[in-house]
Amino acid sequence: MTTEDSIKRRRRAGLSFPGIRRVVVKLGSGTVTDPVEGLRESTIRAIAAQLSFSWSEMGVSFVVVTSGAVAAGRKKLGMAQRPRSVALKQAAAAVGQTTLMRAYERAFEKHGRHVAQLLLTHEDFQDRGRYVNARNTLETLLSRGIVPIVNENDTVATEEIRLEGDERGANDHLAALVTQMIGADLLILLTDSDGLFTKDPHRHPDARRIPLVENPDDDSIREAAGEGISAAGTGGMGSKIHAARVLSASGIPVVIASGLTKRSVLDALEGKDAGTLILPRNTGKLSTRKMWIAYARNAHGTVLVDDGARKVLLEGGKSLLPAGVIGAQGKFLRGEVVSIADQRGRVFARGIARWTREQVDRGKGKRSDEVRRLLGAETPAEVVHRDDLTILPSPKP
């Protein structure tokens, strides 16, 4: 694809600043820190200048998700290697977080903007009340023109924030969840690479940048992303593609670009051929509640359904009734999130259970009148109601 073709496709996809009003920008450890020098304050200043200009001149508001606390603290503590124990990691994060926030505060104050710090944990996404409170805080800050700086609370967290199906790149996943939480129009993942390449550009001089990705599930994209982990951080291109895959299914485009240039954010907003644009597969956004069900909470168990129920859920937008249920796995209570899988165990949806595991075991395969006689008249008719159910991306037959 030529540069001109790539730019045309980006603009047809609506990726230019007139159509973008709210953006999440994630800075990886490789962008904000250097293994030898520590914190890259010049990079933070360049990002702050772009975001401040875009906010003032284009009307685009931003949430920043940043890595770098552990790396910055490691430098101050004189650690040669990334800390491996939880205690050392949390100590480095506690020391580095103050340095990191001071750098952001100084950078944005030069442009007349205040910043606010939000440190989130796994539980802030699991619990619906805490999730809504965090979202309300972000909305209030944005409405007042304040730049929220979000990081995982490494000083206390023992369980990292993860997206279902991936165990790497916690802050890439945090950025995707925050993007969903506030209903952002775009996620920009800034890294120390110019985007996604056909091969690792650090090891293969013939590697070519991929300017546009229309299907992040394509095998060639998965192969190009690889499993690399940067020296400064815990993620790699694989975790970025995984995060982009989730947002693509939710109708939100993603740009992966270099955070070490002076125009990466501006170029992305203007639809220029910079980095890698991953187009959304769905044109409409899911509600924040539907996205919360699908991605922010961990499943407590699995409900297995027959092919007829699977077809009705995928094509008819119906609720899951007990007649289509053939079994269950794990322990779950009413009100907990469960995965929904076909007869072969392939998960294609997630939802909030209205039945307990015990009720599923007793009522599976039964008609509504049988369920009322067996489990009581007060038992909900639906195992999972359609309002509490989200279909996951690319369910396969």
- Could you give the CA distance from residue 149 to residue 270 in angstroms, rounded to a whole number? 23
Same domain? For 281 and 326 the reply is no
Q: State which of 255, 272, 290 marks the end of a domain.
A: 290
Same domain? For 315 and 282 the reply is no
CB atoms within 10 A of CB 259: 25
Q: What does pTM read for this prediction?
A: 0.80
Joined together, the tokens standing for residue 187 give: 């996620």
Beta bridge partners of 256: 189, 276
Joined together, the tokens standing for residue 291 give: 């996205």
- Could you give the CA distance from residue 198 to residue 175 in angstroms, rounded to a whole number? 24
Joined together, the tokens standing for residue 91 give: 């100590």
Q: For the chain, how many structural domains are there in total?
A: 2
> Cα(first)–Cα(last) distance of the chain, in Å?
32
Angstrom CA distances, 22 to 37, 145, 277, 335, stand at 33, 12, 17, 32
C-alpha triplet 121, 74, 70: angle, nearest 5°? 15
- Write the single-letter amino acid at 386: R
Same domain? For 276 and 144 the reply is yes
Same domain? For 360 and 285 the reply is no
Note down pLDDT in tens along the chain; length 397 residues: 555 555 555 554 445 545 789 999 999 888 998 877 778 999 999 999 999 999 999 999 999 999 888 888 887 888 877 777 888 888 888 898 999 999 999 999 999 999 999 999 878 888 888 989 999 999 999 999 999 999 988 666 555 544 444 434 478 889 999 998 998 999 999 998 889 998 888 788 888 999 999 877 777 787 777 644 343 434 478 888 888 888 887 788 999 999 998 899 999 998 888 899 998 876 566 777 887 888 777 889 999 999 999 999 998 889 999 999 999 999 999 999 999 999 999 999 999 999 999 999 999 999 988 998 999 989 999 999 999 999 887 544 4
CA contacts within 13 A on the Cβ side of 202: 10
- Could you give the CA distance from residue 22 to residue 182 in angstroms, rounded to a whole number? 9
Helix 41-53 / helix 86-109 crossing angle, nearest 10 deg: 50
Range of the domain at 319: 299-391
Same domain? For 67 and 128 the reply is yes
Predicted confidence at residue 234, as pLDDT, reads: 40
Same domain? For 286 and 308 the reply is no
| Pick from 104, 126, 15, 103: nearest CA to 60 | 15
Q: State which of 232, 263, 290 marks the end of a domain.
A: 290
Give a three-class secondary structure readout of 297-329. Answer: CCCCEEEEECHHHHHHHHHHCCCECHHHEEEEE
